[in-house]
Amino acid sequence: MTHYPEHILELYVLHAQEVETRREEIEAHISECFGCKSLVEEMSEFHADLKAEMQKPVEEQQSTALARTYSRVTPYYDDVYETPVAYLPPKGAIQKFQYFARQHPVFVGGSSFAFLAAIFMMFNLFPKSANTVIDQNPVFPRINWTEGTIEIYNKNDERIWKWVCERVGLSSEQLENRQKFLLQNLYIADINGDGRNEVITSLPLASHGVEGGISISNKIKVFTSKEQKLFPDIEISEKIHYKSSLDTAERNYNDRFNIGQIKALPVGTGEEINIFSSAGNVGRSPGMVTRINGSGIVVGQFWHFGNLFFIDTIDFDNDGKKELLFSGINDVEDDTGSFNQYGILLALDPEKIIGKKKSLCTPGFQDLPFSDAEKMYIKFPHSSMNRVLHRNNSPNNECAFSKNRGLQISMSSGPDNYAHDFQYYLTKELRVIEVKTNNTTNQVFAKLVDEGKLKGKIDRAYLEDLKNRVQYWDGEKWSNTWTMINHKERLAVSN
């Protein structure tokens, strides 16, 4: 699939005369291309914001724009397709002014605009007094790859804190993916409700968790300033015992966990901000989601045999409350020597992550009661390619989520010359409605046919079969029909 360049999509968004004759052609492409559609939506929102911001006081412009930029979800584009040119909206007020001027030459030529421009430049270009008090309220982070630091900025785009972080310098390849990984371990929110933001992170920062040159990434730290913390660090560390129906003896796991992601979300009727972290046992299967309240108390843990990766929050059942949405892996049957690991999608009720409890679908954690936090649990099938290659499938940890259109998630196998993936499309209610392939997957399938390992081709019937073999857990058994988890009978018997 060939994507349109950014400047063409932007001309389309701006209803420019240069692309008027191509509008139908572009619209047809956007209707089929999730990446370009997300990019167009991002551009449309940005230009609407910019137009509104130009009519606001300067300080309000900067605060609103920077805060919104940090909160946006980065669009995902499939690796097998040519990626559209990255759309990088200007962040600073002056950058936005210059950008607006370039894109609106007619408006810029007006005398009223010239007057506004003069006022704007006067307030933004003259140097500030050396005695100006810098706002110490953190709003967004940046990564300084040159210095190997994490930097925190206020609403006026002024750096207020800086920490050395050894993970910034661990790898210079694929900086965009590296940045996304690092920022998943850092979140900014007002935890204690005092009107000022805190910085929440598990990253190893110099003088805040690096001992003897060894990174400690299993502690959650909440900073009110560069050196002050809201409460003592919370260590995510737990020895765990597991025994599935396939095990002849109990398996013991060490207490070494790595925190993968951190989020801070309002919970309950009072909408108190709680911290949620996902963590996995180092190199092993046990994973957990931990809930921490604004006072630094661990409210609960949800245990799952297989790592979980946070996607977003979603009110998929339309009850007015948002659930935590995770992709992940179920490893319950994977130790039998066969390819029984499978990719999953999981929705949790954050209010019900209370106490230390286990998933209904991974019941082997010893001495733990079942959790009633699970609301939806989806199992993605193995394809014929998985079977002949003797490989599991798993989510590639990159999902495209739209609150209007639903979710796209890819199930991948690899990597090597046989690496491939299928894209699953779900409604907002988390019902799988379509499965798609791509050029790389089709080529791998054809290669397996040539080698005599498979027959046929990937056609509509093949993809429809994958869709129909998606399974939903009802609390007791798997079903090929969409269903939520019914806890009442299962929990009454099991607990």
Q: Is the pTM of this model over 0.75?
A: no
Q: Is residue 340 part of a domain?
A: yes
Please report, rounded to a whole number, the percentage of residues in the chain having pLDDT higher than 90.
Answer: 35
Residue 447 lies in a domain: no
Looking only at the bridges linking them, the beta strands covering 374-379 and 406-413 are: unpaired
Residue 223 has pLDDT above 70, yes or no: yes
Is the CA virtual torsion 289, 291, 292, 297 positive or negative? Answer: negative
Cα distance between residue 197 and residue 186, in whole Å: 13
Percent of the chain with pLDDT over 70: 71
- Same domain for 77 and 13, yes or no, is yes
Most confident of 2-6, 111-115, 167-171: 2-6
Residue 478 has pLDDT above 50, yes or no: yes
Q: Is 322 within a domain?
A: yes
Higher pLDDT, 209 or 419: 419
Does residue 193 sit in the same domain as residue 270?
A: no
Higher-confidence residue of 447 and 106: namely 447
- Same domain membership, residue 322 and residue 348: yes
Asked if residue 203 is part of any domain, the answer here is: yes
Together in a domain, 121 and 136: no
Domain count, the chain: 3
User: What count of other Cβ atoms lies within 10 Å of the Cβ of residue 483?
Assistant: 17
Among residues 342, 358, 380, the one where a domain terminates is 380
In a domain, 421, yes or no: no
Residues 261, 185 contacting (CB under 8 angstroms): yes
Residue 305 lies in a domain: yes
Pairing mode, if any, of strands 149-153 and 257-267? unpaired
Helix (H, G, I), strand (E, B) or coil at 181: helix
Nearest to 258 by CA among 277, 239, 241, 245: 277
335/218 same-domain check: no
Based on the fold, state whether residues 95 and 171 are members of the same structural domain: no
User: How confident is the model at residue 295, as a pLDDT?
Assistant: 92
Answer yes or no: do 54 and 138 share one domain. Answer: no
Count of CA atoms in the C-beta half-sphere (13 A) of 100: 24
Quickly list H helices, 129-265: 175-183
**Domain termination site, one of 235, 260, 281:** 235
- Could you give the 3-state DSSP secondary structure of residue 221? strand
Q: What is the mean pLDDT of residues 390-414?
A: 78
Specify the DSSP element, H or E, that contains 301: strand 298-305
How many other C-beta atoms can be found within 10 angstroms of the C-beta atom of residue 373?
Answer: 25
210-219 pLDDT, tens digit per residue, is: 444 445 578 8
Residues 113 and 211 in one domain: no
Q: Are residues 253 and 229 in the same domain?
A: no
Query: Would you give the distance in Å from CA 54 to the centre of its chain?
Result: 31
Distance CA 282, CA 286 (A): 9
Range of the domain at 205: 131-235
Q: Which of 380, 413, 439 is the endpoint of a domain?
A: 380
Predicted confidence (pLDDT) per residue in 315-354, tens digit: 898 888 899 999 998 988 765 455 678 899 999 999 999 9
Q: 414 pLDDT exceeds 70?
A: yes
